Amino acid sequence: MKNLVISVPRLEIHRPPISTAIVAEVIRSTGHLVQALDLNCEFFHYLPNRQSYYSYDEIWDHERQPTFSELKNICKFIKSKCLPRMKSYDRYWISVFGGSATMFTELLCRFIRKYLKNKVIVLGGQGVNDASIVKKEMQFGEAMMKENLCDLYISGEGEHSVVEVLKGEIRGPGINGETPVQIDDIDSLPFPNYSFYNLDSYDYLTKNKEVFIVGSRGCVRRCTYCDVAKYWPKFRYRSGTNIAQEMITHYERHGVNNFYFTDSLINGSMKAFGDMCEILAKYNQDHHANFSWKGQFIFRPKRQLPKDHFALVSAAGGKEFYVGVETGSDKIRWEMDKKFTNEDIDFQLEEFNKHNINVIFLMLIGYVTERIDDHKETLAMFKRWQKYVATGTIKGIDLGQSLRFLEGTPLEKQIKQHDVYFLRSDESRKNYISTNLWQSKKNPDLDVPERIRRRIETHEEAIKYNWPIWRGAQRLNVIKGMMEKYLKFLQGQKEHPKKVVIENLNFFE
C-alpha cells in the first residue's frame, strides 16, 4: 500500500510542516512506501502572489464565507493540482492542524471520495477534536467519519497510533475517538524527516532556511489559565543531547541552521536545556554553523539561574524567546502560578540585552483577581522597560484577547472559588457560551466593560511608549467582538436578570 502524507491549508508558509515530516518518517521507518505532499505550499505557489494567498486566511479561520470565485478557485486547485498528484497512492494521511485546516480538509475529502475510488483516508492532528467549555457540537473527526469522508481518525500523539493503523488496527488508544495515551519516552521517537519536502519552496522569513523542532511535549508549569495540560497531562522532554543531535542532523543534511521550537517552554527542563546549549555552543564554535533558534521560554527566578547562563544560551544560538509575562503585577503573576517577579524580569532583560537575545512579551489583561492597583502596575511596566524596546531586546508584545475560561484549565476548577458566572449572548447558536463574557462576584468591579476598558487602556499605554505591538489590530478586533456580544446581551436583558444553571455553571440570560 502506497502512503501519502498530506498537509493542507492553512499552515504558516514560512517553514515546512513538522507534523507530516514526523508521520512520514514513522511510516518510512516501519518499511512502508511513503511520500509527503504539502498542499499548503502548493496552494501558495498556485496563487499569483502572496497577497492573494493571505486573502484566504479569513476563509480558513471561518471569519467569512468564500466568494463564488474563491470557492471555484479552491475546487479547481484540488481537481487540477492535488488529485493528479494523489491518484497513484492508496492511503492518505491528512494532517488537520487545528480549526483553520478543517474547511480545506472537508473539501479535499469530498473530492477524493468522488474522483478517487477505493482510497483510505486517515485524519489526524489537533483539528480532529476541537472543543470548548460548553460547546456540545460533534468533533470534526467524528463528524467526518459519520459523513463517510474519512475511514479513520487519530487524536493525540500520532507516532504509536500510526504504527497500529499500519498493522491494520482500527481500534486502540487515539484511534476513532478512543482516549489517546501519552508517549513517555520521546527520545526514542524518530526525527522529523524533511527530505520529503523541497525545502527551497518555502517562503522563509530570512534568507536562511528554518524548520520546526519539538524539544518537549506538555508543560512543566500549571499556569491557571492554560489548557496545555488538557492535551498533554504529563510534561515529557527530550534529552539535550538528543535535541542538539537533531538540529545538527538537519544542518548537516539540509544546511538548515534556523529553528523554531514548538514547545510550550523550551527551558522547561533546565538540565536538558543546559545540555543542549552546551553541545550547540561547542558545535557552533567548531563548525561555524551559526545556529539561530527561537521558541517559548519562561523567565525564572534569578536565584535559579546558573552563572553565565545567558552567555551560553547566546553562544548556542538562542535568539528570540516568547515569554508569558502576562501582567505587571507580581501578585497577579503569582496567583496565575507563574513563579517569577518584576525583579526577575529586570535581571533577565538586562542579560538578554547584554547577550543580544530578543524577547516577545505575551500578556493577559484582566485576570479574574485583578484589582485596579494591579492594573496600574501593568500600565507602569511600559515605561519601566521601554529602554529595552529601544535597545531592540523587546521585539514585540502581544496584548492578547483578555482572559477566557478554557476547559481543562486549573482556572476552570476555580470557577466556584471565584464565584464566576457567564453571560449568554448569542441566541443564534444554541448551547454556545462565550467563555470571555464572564464576571466574578468576588471581584465585581472587574465586569466585562471594565475588563475591556483596562485592555484598551493598556493598549494605549503601549502605544504611548512606542512598544512593538504584535498583531495589535487583530487582537483589538476580538475585543471589539467581545464588546458587541456584551452590548447584544444588555440589549436583550430584562429589568430583572434571569439566572440559570447549566452543567453546574451559573449564567445570566
Partner 1 sequence: MQIKIKVKGTFCNTWPNLVVECNKQILFNGLIENTQTIDIEFTKLIPTGNIFYLGMDNKSFGKNNIWDTRIVNNQIVEDKTIKVLSVELDGVECVELFNNRFHVKVSDKQPSYFPDTVPTDNVMNYNGYFYFNFDLPLYNSLINRKFKKESSDDISYFSNYSKVFHYDDQIKAINDIKKQLKEVDEKFSDKRSAIRNT
Residue 294 sits at φ, ψ, to 5 deg, of -145, 165
Distance (Å, rounded) from C-alpha 194 to C-alpha 36?
9
The CB-of-283 to partner 1 minimum distance in angstroms stands at 27
- Pick 221 or 459: Cβ nearer partner 1: 459
Residue 505: name the closest of 416, 439, 440, 426 by CA.
Answer: 416
- Pick 257 or 358: Cβ nearer partner 1: 358
The CB-of-248 to partner 1 minimum distance in angstroms stands at 25
- Pick 137 or 484: Cβ nearer partner 1: 484
Distance (Å, rounded) from C-alpha 25 to C-alpha 36?
10
Distance (Å, rounded) from C-alpha 100 to C-alpha 236?
27
| Four-point Cα dihedral 363, 369, 371, 375, nearest 10 | 0
Taking each helix axis from N to C terminus, what angle separates 68-77 and 102-115, rounded to the nearest 10 degrees? 60
Which residues, 6+ apart, have CB-to-CB distance to 358 below 8 Å? 319, 320, 321, 352, 392, 393, 394, 395
The CB-of-390 to partner 1 minimum distance in angstroms stands at 4
Taking each helix axis from N to C terminus, what angle separates 270-287 and 240-254, rounded to the nearest 10 degrees? 30
Greatest alpha-carbon pair distance for the chain in Å reads: 74
Query: Cell numbers 440570560 correspond to what residue?
Result: 509
The CB-of-174 to partner 1 minimum distance in angstroms stands at 28
Q: β-pairing, 33-38 with 292-297? A: unpaired
- Pick 111 or 470: Cβ nearer partner 1: 470
- Pick 432 or 508: Cβ nearer partner 1: 508
Q: Is 342 within 8 Å of 316 (Cβ atoms)?
A: no
**Residue 445: which H helix or E strand, with range?**
none
- Pick 257 or 353: Cβ nearer partner 1: 353
Q: Is 284 within 8 Å of 248 (Cβ atoms)?
A: no
The CB-of-150 to partner 1 minimum distance in angstroms stands at 27
DSSP letter (8 states) at residue 78: I
Give start and end residues of each alpha helix (H) in 260-339. 270-287, 309-316, 330-335
User: Which cell goes with 91?
Assistant: 492511503
10 Å CB burial of residue 46 (0-12, 13-18, 19+) is: middle
- Pick 114 or 480: Cβ nearer partner 1: 480
The CB-of-65 to partner 1 minimum distance in angstroms stands at 20
What is the binding site for partner 1 (CB under 8 A)?
Answer: 12-14, 50-51, 54, 57, 205, 386-387, 389-392, 395-396, 423, 439, 444, 447, 449, 452-453, 456, 459-460, 463, 465-466, 468-474, 476-477, 479-480, 483-484, 486-487, 490-491, 493, 495-497, 499, 508
- Pick 305 or 483: Cβ nearer partner 1: 483
> Secondary structure of the chain: what % helix, strand, coil (to 5)?
45, 15, 40
- Pick 184 or 495: Cβ nearer partner 1: 495
Residue 446: name the closest of 329, 364, 366 by CA.
Answer: 366
- Pick 376 or 480: Cβ nearer partner 1: 480
The CB-of-466 to partner 1 minimum distance in angstroms stands at 4
User: Which cell goes with 108?
Assistant: 479535499
